[in-house]
């Protein structure tokens, strides 16, 4: 990976933000494109929101993109483009927590801060037999303290990268390579047959179902879109006219929702896509294409865009999937 062994804090930071909630195979192309387009943080800071969001399209978790821009602009303006080199100052940057701050501090500046990510949680819990849930305050404190005790203070960057790689390649979540592991003579999980039960997680994710009914309003060759501005999923991304419901609508209920568009030229056909699973939500999306005689006067916000220009805007993944056949 191009960020392995990297000393430039900007590139390390960019890779860490992209790889949050993203597989390496997917994030690699995005990283390379961002570095090519924005070789230094000042250039990223000068870019428009629209351009950066379009480049981010497909990665999801768009709050990362908003934080990326906010931090780049802060460093460009307040630090004259120089990335801070102290752990505390790095941790206070928008979108950066203890893990990312430790990674940047140790990899770029050789600061003695232990990185504790999912791989490290797994290695430590198995080797030392720690059954305290990793997603509790107590668990995080126990693992952080142990990680700091084990850290090679003279070579923190090399140590951090090594234990992370060890967790990713040897001490894997499923089918770990225990027979090849140098710790198999002392590893608690291996000796006590608890590999599959460690690490322990306490919290269960509660999934919320949401039903999105998108009306693709078209007048002549223009389509109505608007930007999501509320503090919700997909903030700052664009979408079609939306009616959200707390349950699936039947055909009669859907017909009632269409009454406000009484100047239709067509009888809309509903297109239903498979639900999209987010971290804590399931989005059930349906699309109805409405050909209108004139633009509705009640639409005070948003904009009408020629159909062939839609690809210039950043849409959520489920809308991009619909647009493949639109």
Q: Which fold has domain 115-204?
A: Endonuclease Iii, domain 2 (1.10.1670)
72 vs 63: CA distance, rounded Å: 14
Average pLDDT of span 105-117: 95
Residue-wise pLDDT for 266-295, tens only, equals 888 889 888 888 888 999 999 999 999 999
Q: Are 85 and 139 in contact (CB under 8 A)?
A: no
Mean pLDDT score of the chain, rounded to an integer?
93
Whether domain 208-323 has CATH 3.40.630.30: the reply is no
16 given a catalytic annotation: yes
269 vs 235: CA distance, rounded Å: 28
Query: What pLDDT score was predicted for residue 24?
Result: 84
Q: Are strands 238-239 and 276-277 parallel, antiparallel or unpaired?
A: unpaired
pTM: 0.80
Residue-wise pLDDT for 205-231, tens only, equals 889 999 999 999 999 999 999 999 888
Residue-wise pLDDT for 1-37, tens only, equals 778 888 999 999 999 999 988 888 889 999 999 999 9
The pair of structure tokens assigned to 177 is 């390579």
The one catalytic residue in 16, 57, 149, 245 is 16
Burial string for 84-103 (b: 16+ CB within 10 Å, else e) reads beebeebbebebbeebbbbb
CATH architecture of structural domain 1-113: Orthogonal Bundle (1.10)
Q: Are 71 and 37 in contact (CB under 8 A)?
A: no
In the chain, what are the domain boundaries?
Answer: 1-113, 115-204, 208-323
Residue 265 has pLDDT above 90, yes or no: no
Among the listed residues 77, 55, 79, 80, the one whose alpha carbon sits nearest the alpha carbon of residue 65: 55
Residue 264 has pLDDT above 90, yes or no: no
């Amino acid at each position: 990976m191009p960020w392995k062994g990297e000393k430039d804090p900007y590139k390390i930071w960019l890779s860490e933000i992209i790889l949050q909630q993203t597989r390496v195979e997917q994030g690699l192309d995005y990283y390379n494109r961002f570095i090519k387009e924005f070789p230094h943080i000042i250039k990223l800071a000068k870019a428009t929101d629209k351009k950066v969001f379009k480049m981010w399209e497909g990665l999801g978790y768009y709050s990362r993109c908003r934080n990326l821009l906010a931090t780049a602009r802060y460093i460009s303006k307040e630090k004259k483009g120089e990335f801070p080199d102290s752990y505390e100052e790095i941790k206070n940057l928008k979108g950066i927590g203890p893990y990312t701050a430790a990674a940047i501090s140790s990899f770029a500046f050789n600061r003695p801060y232990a990185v504790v990510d999912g791989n490290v949680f797994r290695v430590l819990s198995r080797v030392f037999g720690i059954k305290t849930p990793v997603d509790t305050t107590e668990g995080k404190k126990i693992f952080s303290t142990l990680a700091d005790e084990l850290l090679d203070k003279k070579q923190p960057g090399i140590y951090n990268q090594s234990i992370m790689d060890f967790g990713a390649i040897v001490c894997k979540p499923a089918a770990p390579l225990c027979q090849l592991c140098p710790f198999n003579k002392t590893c608690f999980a291996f000796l006590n047959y608890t590999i599959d039960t460690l690490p322990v997680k306490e919290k269960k994710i509660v999934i919320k179902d949401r039903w999105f009914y998108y009306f693709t309003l078209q007048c002549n060759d223009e389509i109505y879109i608007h930007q999501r501005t509320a503090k919700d999923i997909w903030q700052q991304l664009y979408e079609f006219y939306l009616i959200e419901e707390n349950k699936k609508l039947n055909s009669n209920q859907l017909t009632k929702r269409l009454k406000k568009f009484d100047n239709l030229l067509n009888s809309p056909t509903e297109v239903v896509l498979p639900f999209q699973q987010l971290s804590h939500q399931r989005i059930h999306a349906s699309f109805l294409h409405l050909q209108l005689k004139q633009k509705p006067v009640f639409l005070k916000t948003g904009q009408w865009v020629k159909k062939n220009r839609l690809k210039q805007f950043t849409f959520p993944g489920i809308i991009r999937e619909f647009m493949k056949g639109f």
